[in-house]
Structure 1
Amino acid sequence: MNWQIIELPNGTLAVREDPANTFSLASLCHFGARNNPKRGFLFVSTVLGKHLPAQPSKMLDIHQHLAAKIHAVADAPTLFIGMAETGIGFSYGVYEAWAKNHADREAIFIHSTRYPLHNLPVLDFEESHCHAPNQTLHLPAEPAHLEQMRRAKTLVLLDDEVSTGKTFLNLWRALRPECPLIEQINIVTLTDFMGTVARDALDQALDAPTAHISAARAEWRFTPKAWSPVQGIPPQPYHNPKLKSLAHLGRAGVDRPLALPKRLLDEVEQRLAIHSRDMPLRIIGTGEFMHVPYLLALHLENQGRQVSLQSSTRSPILEFGPIQHIQHLDDPYGQGDPYFIYNARPNSQQITLILHETALNPAISRFAHALGAQTLSCAQHWPKPTKRPASSRGSGS
């Protein structure tokens, strides 16, 4: 297949798609430009529910398709690790799709984070090309989960895309002493841009039997050109280091699919009751908090509502191509980092609901005001996890 040439504001991107792909690249992503001198391009997905609005049921289709291809040793736990930030929702979704089809098997899911929790041991590694290169992976909080992790024979590494594999390799090198029994690795991504040479080199460096699973494969070449990062006018940074995220929703390890609490569903139904069922819904997550908004959006779509899903992000992207509008935001976690949401203009013809895992704070309030949205704090509508005996499967809700 011929190379597709995309002229970006900061360089020239060439992409060649694998003709054997199950899904076409065009059905999964567009090409965008990063506001980041480390890497000038971005594959902007249409099925992640992150930078662009996505339909939840189409996201589920992708999760199930990829989960069905995962190879796991049958007589031991399987360890799933998702990558922050963009890949968290995708990773959680693939894990749950696999776990629901293997309810009799032990499986642990953890996602990396840029917001470390207190009093938990961590593994630090680097995503070198990223705007925020430092990543943290917590060891599971529950002793039973930690024990399952150390007995795992299959490792599943998940992210929205892979282009060099260096981040996965960095993680594996940090993780390997904690998981001495791993016999095989699955690398699961929405899009795989490594190419055969890089893929073979990664397999050799990982030094373990490795399966590469993706919805589409392609290769890329990028030629940068003279360019200066765009300096926007961000809002005043919001600092509140006392804000707490919901550790038990993935950062500290879960061992079962998540179930939305009845109190949260009741609250949403009560708010929607005053609107026509035909009015479109826009569900928005915040930062690393993506999976609960996805589950809610999928639940509402299954009720027959018209629903789209997306999330705010730390990823700086230029207004170009698929990105037609940029809204600068405060950090919902109170750490003062710049945040953005793309293509999410205020729209009085739809209901917009922002879900956040922290308590309501000025950053979230200003976000909601900018979009004419309602807010819902899942910290207030989520039961605290209960301790379970070490012999039982731990809490995932």
Structure 2
Amino acid sequence: MTSSVGSVPWATEEFGLDLVHGDSAVGRTVPELVIPGLRRNPRRAHLLVSTVLGKHIPTPPSVVIGAADDLGDLVRERLGVGVDVVVLGFAETATGLGHCVAARLHAHCYLHSTRRDVPGATTLAGFEEGHSHATSHLMQPTSAELFENNLPLVLVDDEISTGATAIDAIRALHGQCPRERYVVASLVDMRTDEHRAASEAAAAELGVAIDYVSLASGSTVLPLGLTERVTALDAPTLNIAGTDRGSVTRVDLPWPAAVPDGGRHGFLDADSAGFDSAVEAAVRVLDSTVAPDRALIVVGHEELMYLPLRIASGLERGGRQVRYQTTTRSPAYVMDHVGYPLRRGFTFVAPESGENEPRFLYNAQWPDEAVDALVVLIVDEPADTDRLMASGGVVEALRNAGTDVVVATVRGADPSTLRDSREGEGT
């Protein structure tokens, strides 16, 4: 799986879909940060595939965290050193990125939106994402008090195309808990002048300040007829079988009942020490499970991004060869062509009970295809079902491709346990 960074991407050569650099405060460029991909979707036929997010492309954990730290530093520069904040990450793509930014800022509270309607959780607010494959976002902190303050709210997404999702989220939260200042932080900002004007108008209407920071800004060149040409493409070939069948090993990762395994129900700065200790314990278990000379691709499950990233980072710092990425709800066009970022793909049934839409995983192989990497799939308890291991599940799809898999389950805290453990901490 050869990287196309530094060469002309295939989607640019073939379709004229181009990502043009504009500006950067940190010396990054748009073509360095994102590669154009395709989606057979009449609402939006292009996809910005990040090289530093660890979603579609297996990426060194240090690269993912380094990019997020740079983004957090830009937020700090905009707001001022020592200013406390609350942070919201957008599901599913930016749940880990948002948590990294919150950790960099030592945010009072981090919350990510979710598309998993968790039993026993209370929904604070919701909003829609127009171009996404799965559009509805829910916000389900253990209590409204976690967000009921006048601290600046930092909204984190991997890319800002129009800014509409961020504005919709700001409207929803502002109606629930008004505040004076918002910052929208993204790896790349691809808004047009029209989109920027719409954001300024929304800020004026609400009587708030809305700032934007990004590692790089630029523009997307969408040639005429792109949507029609892409949707007319033959369906991609997914779930290609290998010559040999991979093995599977299962392991439970220890996790304290009162420590959040992510930001779905709110993550307080006070939770950080317990989380860090739990991550170290999980790293030790995995490190003892897998042969020390085996290259690893740590794969998170959809919104469960930050915990697998931190585990991957711990393994990387211990000297292992590690890449990191996650599964997704979003279908994308797969083509095994040099210069295209989605070289192979898998589709499978959602492991969670009651979920009927297919799920996807892209690439899931080492950049050097000669390296026989093992996939460490990290899931939380709701995803650890019979469907996870069934013939149509992700584990079997990977094994059929010849990949060895370790399924590592984290049995994290539920909303009621968290709510009981943190009474009075949200204020």
Q: What TM-score range do you get, normalising by the shorter chain?
A: 0.7 to 0.9
- Aligned equivalent of 1:92, options 72, 95, 99: 99
Distance 1:39 1:326 in 2: 20
Q: How far off its partner does 1:13 sit? A: 2.0
Amino acid at match of 1:323: L
* TM-superposition CA deviations, 1:188-210 (whole Å, max 9, x none): 00110003442232122133222
Correspondence list, 1:34-113, <5 A: 34-70=39-75, 71-72=78-79, 78-99=85-106, 107-113=108-114
Distance 2:28 2:151 in 1: 30
* TM-superposition CA deviations, 1:77-107 (whole Å, max 9, x none): 52211111111111111111111xxxxxx62
Amino acid at match of 1:218: G
Q: How far off its partner does 1:270 sit? A: 4.2
Correspondence list, 1:220-369, <5 A: 220-222=220-222, 223=224, 224=226, 225-226=228-229, 227-228=231-232, 231=235, 249-256=262-269, 258=272, 259-260=274-275, 265-266=280-281, 268-273=283-288, 275-320=290-335, 321-334=340-353, 335-345=355-365, 349-359=372-382, 360-365=384-389, 366-369=393-396
Q: How many residues align?
A: 370
Amino acid at match of 2:86: L
Q: Look up the match of 1:16.
A: 20
Q: Look up the match of 1:123.
A: 125
Tell whether the 8 Å contact from 2:127 to 2:168 is kept in structure 1 after alignment: yes
**Using a 3 Å threshold, how does the CA distance of structure 1 residues 328 and 219 change in structure 2: closer, same or farther?**
same
Q: Look up the match of 2:182.
A: 185
Higher helix proportion (structure 1 or 2): 2
TM-score, length-scaled by structure 2: 0.77
* TM-superposition CA deviations, 1:283-307 (whole Å, max 9, x none): 0101111111001001111112111
Amino acid at match of 1:358: E
Q: How far off its partner does 1:349 sit? A: 2.5
Amino acid at match of 2:265: A
Considering Cα pairs closer than 8 Å and 6+ residues apart, tell me whether 1 or 2 has the greater RCO. Answer: 2
* TM-superposition CA deviations, 1:232-290 (whole Å, max 9, x none): 6889xxxxxxxxxx976212211126454756654553453365433211101011111
Tell whether the 8 Å contact from 2:23 to 2:216 is kept in structure 1 after alignment: no
Distance 1:169 1:205 in 2: 7
Query: Bigger CA drift: 70-79 or 39-48?
Result: 70-79
Amino acid at match of 1:169: I
**Using a 3 Å threshold, how does the CA distance of structure 1 residues 378 and 230 change in structure 2: closer, same or farther?**
farther
Tell whether the 8 Å contact from 1:15 to 1:219 is kept in structure 2 after alignment: yes
Q: Look up the match of 1:26.
A: 31
Q: CA RMSD in A?
A: 3.2
Distance 1:248 1:231 in 2: 37
Amino acid at match of 1:131: H
**Using a 3 Å threshold, how does the CA distance of structure 1 residues 350 and 363 change in structure 2: closer, same or farther?**
same
Amino acid at match of 1:278: D
Amino acid at match of 1:368: V
Tell whether the 8 Å contact from 1:260 to 1:295 is kept in structure 2 after alignment: no
Q: Look up the match of 1:387.
A: 420
Q: How far off its partner does 1:63 sit? A: 1.4
Q: How far off its partner does 1:228 sit? A: 3.5
Q: Secondary structure at the match of 2:31?
A: helix
Distance 2:147 2:83 in 1: 10
Correspondence list, 1:152-231, <5 A: 152-180=150-178, 182-207=179-204, 208-222=208-222, 223=224, 224=226, 225-226=228-229, 227-228=231-232, 231=235
Amino acid at match of 1:29: V
Query: Bigger CA drift: 359-368 or 303-312?
Result: 359-368
| Identical-pair percentage | 25
Tell whether the 8 Å contact from 1:76 to 1:152 is kept in structure 2 after alignment: no
- Aligned equivalent of 1:373, options 405, 408, 417: 405
Q: How far off its partner does 1:68 sit? A: 1.4
Tell whether the 8 Å contact from 2:115 to 2:136 is kept in structure 1 after alignment: yes
Query: Bigger CA drift: 151-160 or 8-17?
Result: 8-17
Amino acid at match of 1:192: D
